[in-house]
């Protein structure tokens, strides 16, 4: 059992939970994730590590309520316990020693990119963060991101905070003005697709973290399969980080849409 030590609401449907998980925290690296099962009747679902303390034995997870399991987790309180938590899973994010790295986070992808920014900066890179959300009330972890970046650029679709527009617009303007050695983009698949399209035009290497549907997290079920550089890959064991210029985005988006349709049908069953 894994006790919830602290719970916080970050936005309307976004929550942060700090969970006691000593063994996971001791081995965690930036870019990795865990798979949870809340109780005996619950489904397995993945969440990327946002933060952790090996010394204190906790991990921090940020979730958006999108279905039954995330809603149930959002309703749990401090002192409640998660039945199963497995991790850290996946390959750690690739680091580079030095250079200028731009980290683009959209929505709850900001939580996933936070430890990557920190690790890149610790490795000697200059890190610029670009964060985006639909409106200011949905923009999360601004203070935490400011602490792990050298410069932080904020964008909102409605202009209520920072630059009015998409993260891709801010990214393109930055690439026009400055030399960038690497871009890391994490967020909705459509955002990562267009971020990769922008960087391709500037010939800047780009890493993305694929949010494929996952089940077992060990590469056995094939649920999270994606196509990268013309080959089938599994996000849980080969990723979740891949070269954004080599991902078949149309295939990934069609698979995600298929699961959304099936989930909607399941919700409406009597």
Considering its fold, how many domains does the chain have in total? Answer: 2
On whether residue 85 sits in a domain, the answer given is yes
On whether residue 261 sits in a domain, the answer given is no
Helix (H, G, I), strand (E, B) or coil at 53: strand
CATH number of 49's domain: 2.40.30.10
User: In whole angstroms, how far apart are CA 207 and each of 104, 155, 171, 176?
Assistant: 10, 21, 14, 19
On whether residue 233 sits in a domain, the answer given is yes
Helix (H, G, I), strand (E, B) or coil at 230: coil
Asked whether residue 110 falls in the same domain as residue 85, the answer is no
Asked whether residue 135 falls in the same domain as residue 248, the answer is yes
31: tokens are: 């870019």
Reported as a single tens digit per residue, the pLDDT across 224-236 is: 788 898 999 988 8
Q: 110: closest CA among 82, 134, 78?
A: 134
Asked whether residue 214 falls in the same domain as residue 129, the answer is yes
Asked whether residue 108 falls in the same domain as residue 23, the answer is no
| pLDDT over 60 at 191, yes or no | yes
Last residue of a domain, one of 62, 89, 116: 89
On whether residue 268 sits in a domain, the answer given is no
Check if the beta carbon of residue 156 is closer than 8 Å to that of residue 131.
no
Average pLDDT over every residue of 129-154: 95
Containing structural domain, residue 112: 100-256
Average pLDDT over every residue of 127-156: 95
| pLDDT band of 260, cuts 50, 70, 90 | low
Asked whether residue 164 falls in the same domain as residue 37, the answer is no
Asked whether residue 104 falls in the same domain as residue 67, the answer is no
| pLDDT over 70 at 70, yes or no | yes
Cα gap 27→15, rounded to integer Å: 24
Asked whether residue 234 falls in the same domain as residue 148, the answer is yes
Asked whether residue 85 falls in the same domain as residue 190, the answer is no
Asked whether residue 136 falls in the same domain as residue 250, the answer is yes
On whether residue 266 sits in a domain, the answer given is no
User: In whole angstroms, how far apart are CA 179 and each of 176, 242, 267?
Assistant: 8, 22, 48
Last residue of a domain, one of 89, 112, 139: 89
Asked whether residue 154 falls in the same domain as residue 252, the answer is yes
> What was the pLDDT predicted at 259?
53
Helices (H), the chain: 22-27, 68-75, 109-122, 142-147, 167-177, 189-202, 249-267
| pLDDT over 50 at 264, yes or no | no
| pLDDT band of 261, cuts 50, 70, 90 | very low
On whether residue 71 sits in a domain, the answer given is yes
Q: What DSSP letter does each residue of 151-182 carry, written as one string?
A: EEEEEETTSSSSEES-HHHHHHHHHHHS--SE
Q: Among 79-83, 107-111, 201-205, 212-216, whose mean pLDDT is lowest?
A: 212-216
> What was the pLDDT predicted at 141?
95
| pLDDT over 50 at 267, yes or no | no
Reported as a single tens digit per residue, the pLDDT across 14-30 is: 999 999 999 999 999 99
Asked whether residue 109 falls in the same domain as residue 165, the answer is yes
Last residue of a domain, one of 70, 89, 108: 89
| pLDDT band of 48, cuts 50, 70, 90 | very high
| pLDDT over 90 at 98, yes or no | no
Cα gap 256→162, rounded to integer Å: 30
Q: Which residue has the tokens 């700090």?
A: 18
Asked whether residue 36 falls in the same domain as residue 55, the answer is yes
On whether residue 155 sits in a domain, the answer given is yes
> What was the pLDDT predicted at 228?
92
Mean pLDDT of the chain: 90
């Amino acid at each position: 059992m894994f006790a919830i030590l602290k719970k916080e609401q970050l936005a309307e449907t976004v929550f942060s939970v700090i969970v006691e998980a000593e063994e996971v925290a001791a081995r965690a690296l930036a870019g990795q994730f865990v798979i949870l099962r809340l109780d005996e009747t619950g489904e397995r679902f993945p969440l990327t590590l946002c933060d952790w303390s090996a010394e204190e034995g906790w991990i921090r997870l940020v979730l958006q309520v999108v279905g039954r399991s995330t809603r149930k987790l959002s309703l749990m309180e401090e002192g409640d316990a998660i039945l199963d938590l497995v991790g850290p899973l996946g390959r750690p994010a690739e680091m580079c020693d030095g250079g200028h790295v731009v980290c683009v986070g959209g929505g709850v992808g900001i939580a996933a990119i936070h430890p990557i920014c920190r690790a890149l900066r610790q490795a000697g890179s200059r890190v610029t963060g670009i964060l985006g959300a639909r409106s200011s009330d949905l923009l999360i972890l601004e203070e935490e991101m400011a602490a792990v970046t050298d410069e932080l650029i904020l964008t909102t679709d409605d202009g209520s905070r920072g630059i009015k527009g998409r993260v891709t617009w801010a990214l393109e303007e930055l690439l026009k003005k400055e030399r960038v050695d690497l871009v890391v983009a994490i967020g909705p698949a459509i955002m990562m697709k267009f971020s990769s399209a922008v960087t391709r035009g500037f010939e800047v290497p780009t890493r993305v973290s694929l949010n494929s549907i996952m089940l077992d997290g060990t590469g056995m079920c094939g649920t999270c399969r994606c196509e990268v550089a013309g080959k089938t890959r599994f996000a849980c064991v080969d990723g979740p980080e891949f070269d954004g210029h080599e991902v078949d985005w149309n295939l990934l988006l069609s698979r995600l849409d298929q699961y959304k349709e099936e989930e909607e049908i399941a919700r409406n069953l009597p």
